[in-house]
Amino acid sequence: MKTPTTNHGNSVSKLTTMRWLKTAFLIFSAAFALILGTATQSHASGESCPVPQSYTLWAGQTNDVGEVIVSNTATHLTIKYMLNEDERAAGTTFGTLHAWVGTDLEGLPTNPQGILVPGSFPYSHTPSSDVWHHTFSIPLNTLGITDLGNGEGCGLELIVVTHAEINYADGRNNGNNDTAFGGDNPGDGPRWWFYITYEVQCCDDTPPVFGRCETAFGYGTHIFATNRNHNPDDLPTLRLSPGRWGWANRVGQPNTIVRPIYAGAGRNITRPNRVVGELTIERLGDGSVRVGYEMNRTRQGQYNRFLHSVHIYASNDRPTTIAPGRYGYTRYFGGSTVGDHSATFQLDAEGPIWIIAHAVVCWPR
């Protein structure tokens, strides 16, 4: 894929490489840590970084029981486990929790048969009472990240393995407890498990201009998930994950396609109040493809949503990953009030192309 041309607002820049911008930024204030709940591990003070990333917590491999939220400050990585509302209403609680973090899977504890051993993970917690959430706070310097404030470690991809024991109160699973893992990346070995890929984000002292932020995708022709209850529109699936929501677009002949952009559309459930903007895909006959984001506007013509970051997959090849950081194109806008952005890619003119348009969309304060 050739170097894309990007455009947002009135500025146009041609990139020479596809790299992570080491632009320091701050979206949430330190008060956001209170939203994530009180950590039972020690948590040093530090600035909050954008934007907490949410991953499905899978029990028994296919049962969505909650989420794992990963974020970082300038000094700590935070991992929060949280059961969803349905499970809390049913009386479900957490048993022992385990977490492991590394830059690759080489040091992950397994037995001689290759079976994962969560009991040997370096971070664990056994609740003394019935709980439905818990937070680990891990110093970044224990992961070899010592100078995040100067850009060292920005964009570093971490492997996060989160294990949980699930205690059902309604007799499910034949009255037995269950095992759960967070994420959508399947691990190797004779038994199932999942892991998370998380990219370290950078901090600075820029005042926040955003309120809450959510993950967003442009609607498409295909979904990622294999679970039937994640396919309300009966679309073809790329079979990339049991339950990761989001869409990809397969585009054939030169054409202009306009799609809604949905934020927080878990299980691919599309509601009008989830529409935050519009995605435009323009495929020309010479192989060039323009992918454009446009956020919703108020009646006065001002943007009522802002782009914190975008990730775009543009290729002649069918997608094989659900990790936005691996799509090939990333732009961070930090605390800027950017409401539109576009990028142009040069692809082969023959055959179909694939586009995934991901974003983190924020509400103004």
SS3 205: coil
- The tens digit of pLDDT for each residue in 83-92 reads 988 899 889 9
DSSP state of 48: B
Phi, then psi, of 168 in degrees rounded to 5: -85, 145
DSSP state of 149: G
Task: Determine whether 328 is exposed, middle or buried from the number of CB atoms within 10 Å of its CB (0-12, 13-18, 19+).
Answer: middle
Distance CA 32, CA 288 (A): 41
Residue 11 carries which side chain, given as an amino acid letter? S
Instruction: Determine the average pLDDT of the residues in 80-108.
Output: 92
DSSP state of 206: P
- The tens digit of pLDDT for each residue in 281-301 reads 999 999 999 999 999 999 888
Alpha carbon 36 to chain centroid, angstroms: 16
pTM above 0.95, yes or no: no
Q: Scanning the structure block, which residue is given the tokens 């006959």?
A: 285
Q: Scanning the structure block, which residue is given the tokens 């701050």?
A: 26
Domain boundaries, the chain: 5-22+208-364, 32-199
pLDDT for the residue 150:
64
